[in-house]
Structure 1
Amino acid sequence: MMSPLLGVLGGMGPAATADFLAKLAAHTPAQRDQDHLATIVYSDPTTPDRSDAILAGGENPLPAMFRGIAFLDEAGCDLIAIPCNTAHHWYDDLASATTVPVVHIVDAVAAQVEREAPEAKTLGLMATDGTVRAGIYDKVLAPSGRNVIDLTELGPDNPVMAGIRAVKAGALDGARDILTNAMRELVARGAEGIVYGCTDVSAVLEIPASGVSVPVWDAADALAIACVNRLRG
């Protein structure tokens, strides 16, 4: 009997998709290849930039994402994961385009925070400017009395965006240094916990985080755990 089939709407970006798959394997209880989840990945790195669409009226990425959702639906997937935080600005549209359940990445993070540090009320968000502007995390976290702080007011000097761009360009060591400094700045501003709210950040920073003493949650890691729990229950 074939195991439940996970569909991954990926390519946003490619390194983030590869990192999510590695985390999925790491969190799957397995003694042999056959114990792992069957997975189909639809990876289209030509999907228009999600932040550009939100912030500057750039090309709409939704048609490209709809094609991926349709592919995964037709492939017979039992669950769909989208390892891109900013893409969740269009979550309702994407979830409505299929009868297959789609895991919400921020719900997965929120569940971890509530379980592991319910007292943490101010979270430092390391995410794209598009994710921040769209309020993707605020909408989910605010009902539990949590607020989110970020570094977007720094504009072109925002180290989180600089680090994300470095990841996309393949400059991983430089990205790691930039993003670690961004974490320290968020803690200095009062963050009681840090969320890696961009899967490109997840691809280069570890948990526990180097240089900070507050708890850290990784959205890609949370999504992987949520998928394993849903399909292995």
Structure 2
Amino acid sequence: MRNFFTILGGMGTIATESLARQLNHRIKITKDQDYLNYVLVNDAQVPDRTAYIKDHSKPNFFINLREDVLQQAQLGPDFFIMPCNTAHYFYDDLAGLTDVPFLHMMRIAVHRFVEEYPNEQKIGVIATEGSIYDHLYVDEITAVGRQAELGGPEIQPMVTELIYTNIKQKGVVDAELYHSILRKMHDEYGCNVILLGCTELSLAQEKAPDHPYKVIDPQSIIADVAIELELKIRVGMDPKEAVKKYLY
């Protein structure tokens, strides 16, 4: 197979399934061959990212992802994407394993926020405890001269319940809970834009988009970027030249 990219997924599986739906349904097609070529690595055995980030005695998820990257690099994909925000904790280590371009989903999303909302100095961030604990998004937002708002102490338990209890454990999206989180971030913490810093939250947005709040959805953004790049590569553009604009 030529002209394909690799998705490092399975963190979690139904969030990765959501990305695949976006890739397949956003591409304009008239025949089977119009769809994108990609390899979806659904490594459901990757240990919990938040558990390791908060406690290094827990299983290290880098080991699984390192194996996935090295295996896939041998196939020669045009680029890698990894639809798990928290797993970007090891982005530099993973990207350093291969010469294949590795897109940084979090960084691309933050730059998209700046481009789409140039007058907004603050963005709300809801994410896993791991991402919050290690300042993954806060650091990216600070690097572009903006402020991250995490909300009060009641926000994280609500977000954790939505991600883990509802989606990861039960495979369902609690739309009322999702909307309540967005409403609190907007009304009580002054966030005109809210970043969905976990792909389970991206799934919640896909399943329950009927709310008035503005969101930055990294998984949706990386889907659009992958489509844009692969279509350019398909017609002859050099992969490394194509991805250059997104390697911030």
TM norm structure 2: 0.85
Cα deviation, residue 206, structure 1: 3.6
Q: For residue 37 of structure 1, what is the aligned residue in structure 2?
A: 36
Q: For residue 98 of structure 2, what is the aligned residue in structure 1?
A: 98
> Which runs of no fewer than 5 residues in structure 2 stay unpaired?
233-248
Q: 1:38 to 1:82 in 2, by over 3 A?
A: same
Amino acid at match of 2:24: A
Percent identity over the alignment? 26
Amino acid at match of 1:99: D
Q: 2:14, 2:171 within 8 Å by CA — same for their partners in 1?
A: no
Residue 181 (str. 1) matches residue 180 (str. 2)? yes
Q: For residue 169 of structure 2, what is the aligned residue in structure 1?
A: 169
Distance across 1 between alignment mates of 2:146 and 2:26: 27
Q: For residue 19 of structure 2, what is the aligned residue in structure 1?
A: 20
Cα deviation, residue 185, structure 1: 1.0
> 1:201-220 alignment to 2 at 5 Å?
201-206=201-206, 209-213=209-213, 215-220=214-219
Q: 1:50, 1:86 within 8 Å by CA — same for their partners in 2?
A: yes
Distance across 1 between alignment mates of 2:10 and 2:89: 16
Cα deviation, residue 121, structure 1: 1.8
Q: After superposition, what is the alpha-carbon deviation per residue over 1:93-119, rounded to whole angstroms, capped at 9, x for unaligned?
A: 000011111111112212321222111
> Which runs of no fewer than 5 residues in structure 1 stay unpaired?
none
Q: 1:121, 1:192 within 8 Å by CA — same for their partners in 2?
A: no
Distance across 2 between alignment mates of 1:100 and 1:77: 7
Q: For residue 192 of structure 2, what is the aligned residue in structure 1?
A: 192
Distance across 2 between alignment mates of 1:200 and 1:10: 12
Q: 2:162, 2:173 within 8 Å by CA — same for their partners in 1?
A: no
Q: After superposition, what is the alpha-carbon deviation per residue over 1:33-83, rounded to whole angstroms, capped at 9, x for unaligned?
A: 211211111111111100001112221100000111112111221111100
Q: 2:7, 2:80 within 8 Å by CA — same for their partners in 1?
A: yes
What SS does structure 1 have at the residue aligned with 2:154? Answer: helix
Distance across 1 between alignment mates of 2:19 and 2:130: 21
The Cα RMSD (Å) is: 2.0
Distance across 2 between alignment mates of 1:229 and 1:216: 21
Cα deviation, residue 226, structure 1: 1.5
